[in-house]
Chains A and B, each alone.
Chain A
Amino acid sequence: MRSIIEYFKEIIFGVWSLLKGMKVTGSYFFRPSTIVTQKYPSNRNDLVMFDRFKGEVIMPHDENNEHKCTGCGICELNCPNGTIEIISQTIVTEEGKKKKAIDKHIYRLSMCTFCGLCVKACPSNALAFGQKFEHAVFNRALLIKQLNKPGSKLKKGVE
């Protein structure tokens, strides 16, 4: 008797679980708004990438052309591929002290695997990930980028 009850229980549970699966796919089918595919080349102009997308490493500058990079070189040490090269210089501050500062933050896009270790390791949050992803160029040299903009300065208060 128990096995007969089990038999019918199994059938009912089976049908119920199948219907549950069909509900999921059916709800997607009847709501085209859930489609995630982008018609990429034709929507280039208004394409918005998602927040955590890793397009390239950038150094954000504010409106006074100031960045937060102190030139400490921790990102260079953390990079597993040798993508980043820090060229530092010694500057004299207003109080007359000698201090190490960034001269060029060289970033070789062709060697980057977008692992994100540099961004995580930076003590002053000077680095971030940008959204640009169309990186194809005809000359390899164009992939070597300088992240700090020319004439930019260290932001006040960042040590």
Chain B
Amino acid sequence: MLPEIVALNTSPTLSVPWWKVVYDFSALTDWIDKSLHNSMSPFWTTITEMLIIGVLILLFYALVGLFLVYAERKVCAFMQNRLGPNRVGPFGIFQTIADLFKLLFKELIPIKNADGFLFNLAPFIVIIASFMAIAAIPFAKGLHAIDLNIGVLYVMAVSAMGVIGVLLAGWSSNNKYSLIGAMRSGAQIVSYELSVGLSLITIVILAGSMQLSVIVEAQRDGWFLFKGHISAFIAFIIFLISSTAETNRGPFDLAEAESELTAGYHTEYSGIKFAFFFLAEYINMFIVASIAATVFLGGWMPFHVGSWEGFNHIMDFIPPFVWYIGKTFFVIFLMMWFKWTFPRLRIDQLLTLEWKYLLPINLFNVLIMAFLVLMGWHF
């Protein structure tokens, strides 16, 4: 963890030219680490590094949230033959910033007979759950806050924690609509978590590791979606469906079902507390999309084809961060496409889909993948 102690009074320099940093961030992070070690004790170095990473992730979080809300509104508008936001700034790009200020200035209405402590705690649990998950995601080569050896399991476990916040919000609001929304969300996440896990296990079998950096590195000669062919493709489809359900997004948005439950579990929230729920929903979508991109589409790994050296070399010119963002937004676009095309499922249809269709197919799929790996029939 701690690098070797560098002799005092020799300020370290970047080992590579600055423009090469975008291809491999580890030189930059090493340099920051060494510079900090030069000026303070190891304990304070760790604290400072954690603070820097925390602030960076917070910034990233806010920016991605704002952008995703804007993107969702634009995508939705185009799919419905509308223009979407187009008044605030060119093409309406400052619309969500204006919305943010509106939400910041709004009154936080206290609810009579609500459980005050839980009511105020719930949005923070939702936010913290998504915040913790984002730390384990590899954004680019060397840009990876914590590389746990059980990365896939960690991200799944932590992102599923958000449902506690949702349940608390529904319970403490003292409102029938909120409670029904929260219970629906609970039932939904309990069942769909299974499909998400099994579809990820399919790929874990192929990769032979749960560490996200190893999974990315294993896709150097081809993404898992292509390496595991049929089985990986089925797993990808199932992951898309069940992760859409896990983030409570349409067509699985029973938890907030506008037409039935006004706004579901966050009916009673106003101002910035509502904004937390709203933001967490979009960040969860981003996290799920980055997991899909990392596990199935190679994360920050450029598009490589087996032994085509020339082709692979050309693809390497595009920085890894661009690849990662491109793949993630491709998956996010797919999820938005689902939301604005399909009608909402009824609760019994939702559970039928999971327990009668996705789960049996998924179990067989894991079996097939294990067989493929055993026989060496993957690429």
Contacts and interface: CB of A to CB of B under 8 A. Distances in A.
Interface of A: 11, 18, 21-22, 24-26, 28-29, 32, 34-37, 39
Given A22-B337, A25-B337, A26-B337, A37 B342 contact: no
17 contacts: A18-B342, A21-B342, A25-B79, A25-B337, A25-B340, A25-B341, A28-B78, A28-B79, A29-B78, A29-B79, A29-B337, A34-B81, A35-B83, A36-B81, A37-B82, A39-B83, A39-B86
Given A29-B75, A39-B86, A21 B341 contact: yes
B357 interface: yes
Interface residues of B, number: 15
A32 B81 CA distance: 8
- Complex A-B, nearest 3 residue pairs according to Cβ-Cβ distance, in ascending order: A25-B79, A37-B83, A25-B341
B82 A35 contact: yes
Contacts of A32: 78
Q: Which of B86, B337, B341 counts the most chain A CB atoms within 10 A?
A: B341
Given A21-B341, A25-B337, A37-B83, A11 B75 contact: no
A88 B356 CA distance: 78
B207 to A, nearest CB: 27
B262 interface: no
Given A11-B357, A18-B341, A22-B337, 19 more contacts: A11-B361, A18-B342, A21-B341, A21-B342, A25-B79, A25-B337, A25-B341, A26-B79, A28-B78, A29-B78, A29-B337, A32-B78, A35-B78, A35-B82, A35-B83, A37-B81, A37-B83, A39-B83, A39-B86
Interface string B338-365: 1011100000000000000100010000
B80 interface: yes
Q: Which of A21, A29, A35 counts the most chain B CB atoms within 10 A?
A: A29
Contacts of A37: 81-83
Contacts of B341: 18, 21-22, 24-25
A24 B357 CA distance: 25
A45 B337 CA distance: 36
B204 to A, nearest CB: 25
Interface in B76-127: 78-83, 86
A39 B83 CA distance: 9
Nearest to A32: B78
Nearest to A14: B357
A11 B83 CA distance: 35
A32 to B, nearest CB: 7
A127 B160 CA distance: 67
Contacts of A22: 337-338, 341
Contacts of B79: 25-26, 28-29
